[in-house]
Amino acid sequence: MKRQFYKLMLVTNKGNLPIDDYLKFIAICASAGITSVQLREKKLSRAALLDFGGKLKAILKPFKIPLIINDNVEVAYQLDAEGVHLGQSDGSALEARQKLGKDKIIGLSISTKEQLQAANTLPIDYVGIGAIFPTRNKANISTIWGCEGLKKIAPLSVRPVIAIGGINETNILEVIRAGAHGIAAIGAFHDTQEPENTIRNLSNNIEGIKI
């Protein structure tokens, strides 16, 4: 299930949408070609995260698409999710690996060269680099890399690089050419009226560069 999970990571943004409607949207995206889902719902309680996460797992399982939990190792453990994504202040990647086991996916966000150098020594599976472009979906962004910045830092990573922040159909080619192995996004998936076509276009653009 780890194979190419990093290509197209959908970051959840359920908001006030009824859960059944949102799960239908996830199923459409799964069928269209997303390669992983990151459960990131900052306003949900632990109980609500566990409930939502369990339902997401059930939707994704037939597609063999991994569910990765944002920030919360305990929720990932309780759900037996396929992985966890950690920010710099979300605890130790070493402890997460010990807790979750060797087969789970662990990602780590970095926003400086020094953080990347430290990440290179950790038992993780990928690094998230962002924001590449300005985005309204995350507050308190410390670094806007742009594609020129991504070109400089991506080659320094010993793990696959997932780029995030303002990436969509209009700029994904530039991002992949700058060194990203895949993208994580909210808006690219949620703001389109035709998620199936959008996902196929994003995937084709990545495959066209990586071949």
In a domain, residue 2? The reply is no
**Number of structural domains the chain divides into:** 1
In a domain, residue 145? The reply is yes
- When the pLDDT of each residue in the chain is averaged and rounded to a whole number, the result is 93
- Give CA–CA dist 118/81, Å, rounded: 25
The boundaries of the domain holding residue 107 are: 8-210
Tell which residue, 34, 45, 25, has the closest CA to residue 5: 34
DSSP letter for each residue of 77-118: HHHT-SEEEE-TTS--HHHHHHHH-TTSEEEEEE-SHHHHHH
In a domain, residue 3? The reply is no
- 134-165: pLDDT as tens digits: 877 665 666 889 999 999 999 999 999 999 99
In a domain, residue 1? The reply is no
- Domain of residue 73, CATH code: 3.20.20.70
Report field, pTM of the whole predicted structure over 0.85: yes
The residue among 96 and 130 whose pLDDT is bigger is 96
For range 42-51, the mean pLDDT:
93
Find the helix or strand (DSSP H, E) in which 36 lies: strand 36-39
| 184: pLDDT strictly greater than 50 | yes
